[in-house]
Amino acid sequence: MAGYATALRNAQLDAITTFAGNAALLQAYTAPQPATGGAATTKLAQWTLGTPFAPAAAAGSLSPTLPADTTGITTGQADWFRIVKSDGTTHVMDIPYGQVTLNTRNVVSGQPCKVLGFTINAGNA
């Protein structure tokens, strides 16, 4: 396993902030998670992320600004997340449940849905 300096890990993470841009979208989906950037499953909820996406990375971790609450689009269990640019289609990254946590993993259509935590870690951080 490669061991990168913290400054390099932080730079990799800050590149996510730059690429995602302002007002990127966080989308929650049902299982199974496809190959990176592949056809998504059922979208359960969507949030508009911050401007900027996140403050500077530190210690190999990036903590995006938590978005405002939203409501469920449809009912199901959140299993993974996708970040796309504000255009709604340009893929940024896919994230497993656990790096993003919600007030409830069982999203219900029309019911409040809140992001409680969101952290992206670079390799060996």
List the structure tokens of 58. 């530190």
Q: How much is the pTM?
A: 0.94
Q: How many CA atoms lie within 13 A of 5 on its CB side?
A: 3
In the chain, where are the structural domains located?
A: 6-121
Contact in structure between 105 and 72 (CB atoms under 8 Å): no
Tens place of pLDDT per residue across the chain (125 aa): 568 899 999 999 999 999 999 999 999 999 999 999 999 999 999 999 999 999 999 999 999 999 999 999 999 999 999 999 999 999 999 999 999 999 999 999 999 999 999 999 987 64
Using CA atoms, how far apart are residues 11 and 114, in angstroms rounded to an integer? 29
